[in-house]
Amino acid sequence: MHRITRHIKEGFVGILRHGAMSLSSATAVTLTLLLVSMFLLLTLNLQQITKNVENSVQIHVKINEDVTDMNAILEMEAQITKISGVSAVTYSDKNQELDSFILAFGEDGKIFEMYRGDSNPLRNAFLVDVARGADLPLVSEIIGKMPGVESANYGGENTIKLVSMLNTIRNGGLVLVSFLSFLAIFLIANTIKITIYSRNTEITIMRTIGASNNFIRAPYLIEGVIIGLLGSIIPVIVTVVGYMYIYKSLGGVLVSNLFTLRPVFPFVYQISGILVAIAVLVGLFGSFISVTRYLRWSR
């Protein structure tokens, strides 16, 4: 326990003794984490938006006019449910279809009330949900070939392109987050390396009196963790305050209710936790790399 306390104390002393370099490294971590935070907020919100888009898109299956027996309709529903990729099937009779049609036109839709009852020209239908947007074309094609089906439509290729574009942007954001994390490790590694060189005599004395590599390495690892934590303070504050402001300003919605942002809480806490974890790991790995290389070279 005493040894651990000593290493922590030496870590803080090392940061204060080399304040300028420690500040430079912490600043580099701060700037890097600000970018990481921005891309995480964008990426995770795009993930949410993509999920909403996929969940909102349904395959509209029109049933042939001559299929009126309810047992036959239930059998068709059971067959559609068994198709790979289908997550849910909802039956909508011609009256419900007319209700949806009128609702889509708002106030102007009242004119179509004249088609109630026997005058209703619409077909009974199924509304089919799929697990992934990418499955829409194949599932739609399979259903369209089933006996008793007049047509199966899901909105065309534009829907697939939108989902694909959102996924591409999201994946690109994750790649950038990984790149920025490695950049932060490199910056801290170089800063710790300079610190180690400036304390070359101290390390030599410790080795002369028989100190192990782990004993010499420990204070530097503590320094790296502390630098990482210091560098995470401003990004965490900016993330929490900034996202709350953006969410409130936009009302939690981009363009339409289809593009909804993630709720502020617990989202900002999750992002903050990720930033702190990245900062600690970056500081730890950056210090470990520099110290290990130096101890290997100076044998």
Do 154 and 140 touch, CB atoms closer than 8 A? yes
Q: Which amino acid is at 276?
A: V
Domain coordinates of the chain in residue numbers? Answer: 2-53+161-297, 58-154
Do 217 and 246 touch, CB atoms closer than 8 A? no
Q: What is the pLDDT of residue 182?
A: 78
Q: What is the pLDDT of residue 143?
A: 95
DSSP 111: G
Mean of the per-residue pLDDT values for the chain? 83
Quick: pLDDT tens for 74-102.
999 999 999 999 999 999 999 998 898 88
| Statement: residue 199 has pLDDT above 70 | no
Q: Give the separation between CA 102 and CA 287, rounded to whole angstroms.
A: 66
199 Cβ contact list (under 8 Å, min separation 6): 14
Give the burial string for 214-233 (b: 16+ CB within 10 Å, else e): eebbbbbbbbbbbbbebbbb
- Mean pLDDT value of segment 101-119: 83
Do 180 and 278 touch, CB atoms closer than 8 A? no
What dihedral angle (degrees, nearest 10) is formed by the CA atoms of 109, 114, 120, 126?
A: 20
Q: What is the pLDDT of residue 5?
A: 74
Scanning the chain, the segments in alpha helix (DSSP H) are 2-17, 19-56, 70-81, 94-104, 136-144, 157-198, 200-208, 213-250, 264-297
Quick: pLDDT tens for 6-53.
667 766 677 777 677 778 778 888 888 898 898 889 888 888 887 777
The CATH number of 58-154 is: 3.30.70.3040
pLDDT band at 268 (very low <50, low <70, confident <90, very high): very high
123 vs 171, higher pLDDT: 123
Min mean pLDDT across 27-36, 93-102, 272-281, 288-297 is at: 288-297
Q: What is the pLDDT of residue 168?
A: 81
| Statement: residue 172 has pLDDT above 90 | no
Nearest to 149 by CA among 193, 83, 198: 83
Q: Give the separation between CA 36 and CA 20, rounded to whole angstroms.
A: 24
Q: What is the pLDDT of residue 217?
A: 81
| Statement: residue 155 has pLDDT above 80 | no
| Statement: residue 274 has pLDDT above 60 | yes
